[in-house]
Amino acid sequence: MSALANSDTVPRKTAFEVIPAIDIRGGKCVRLFQGDYAQETVYGDPIEMALHWETLGAPRLHVVDLDGAREKRPVNHALVLELARAVRIPVEVSGGIRTMETVRMWADAGVDRIQLGSAAVADPGLVRDAVAAFRDRVVVSIDCRDGEVMTNGWLDGSGIQVLDLARAMAAAGVVRIMVTDISRDGALAGPNLPLYGELVRELPVPVVASGGVGSNVDLVALARLGCEGVIVGKALYEGRVDLRQALEAVSC
């Protein structure tokens, strides 16, 4: 049995999720510092890392095609699909998803969640079409720096404020929104709690946080704010957060 999803799955209330990130560039599992492609750390084979996090109890995996985000099209899709088939837990996919054909490719492949990022700014119609076709499997991922939404692999400013875009996406029928504070990403200095608190208060849909986690204290704080979950990358790979202990901490 693989992690490939049933498209008729109905969302249900779950415990706060600590979700390991697997960012893929050049076929390797890597981490970038604040989205800077020049500041890259390589952690090895993505499938081996996926199986490792699954063994430690990860509820799902957050897989990003970094090459795809930069090229605005899927690049590592064969590897990502192989990864999704190798594990039993759900997999969400992000990076380079800019057309309905690509959305449908991932949906037909059976991945659990499909994330639209830059497309939410460049092509809101795509978001509406994707939601109409695949409902709860569509997630909008919003990346921001100093409150401004960034696009194209965190390279370009949009002039749009994060809360404004998040509200518009919720109004368009998006059932889940992930927000990354780029300035915190990879810094291990703690997440932007005021930002996530505001998003949880103002939005009618679940919020998943990303960026800045450096300890279990950060995870507990996000859970108490009311976030649905958090994406964790560098803190796990550098041993600052132990996944088993983290899952226990947020379950208390």
pLDDT in tens, 70-125: 888 999 999 999 999 999 999 999 999 999 999 999 999 989 999 998 888 889 99
Question: Quick one: pLDDT band at residue 7, thresholds 50, 70, 90?
Answer: very low
Q: Which of 65, 67, 112, 143 is catalytic?
A: 143
**What is the domain partition of the chain in residue ranges?**
17-251
Q: How far apart are CA 37 and CA 21, in angstroms?
A: 16
pLDDT tens-digit map of 135-159: 999 999 999 988 899 887 667 777 8
Q: Does the pLDDT of residue 184 top 70, yes or no?
A: yes
pLDDT score recorded for residue 118 = 86
pLDDT at residue number 5: 52
Token pair recorded at residue 18: 């600590």
User: What topology is assigned to 17-251 in CATH?
Assistant: TIM Barrel (3.20.20)
In the numeric block, which tokens belong to residue 1? 């049995």
What backbone phi and psi angles, to 5 degrees, belong to 121?
-90, -50
Residue where the block lists tokens 């949906």: 107
Q: Is residue 134 classed as helix, strand or coil in its secondary structure?
A: helix
- Nearest CA-CA partner of 192 in 214, 171, 164: 214
Active site residue 181: no
Instruction: Kindly report whether the global pTM for this prediction surpasses the value 0.85.
Output: yes
Q: Is 143 a catalytic residue?
A: yes
Lowest mean pLDDT, pick from 40-54, 174-188, 224-238: 174-188
Using only the alpha carbons of the chain, give its radius of gyration.
Answer: 16
Catalytic residue from among 23, 112, 181, 185: 23
Task: Name residue 113's beta-bridge partners.
Answer: 92
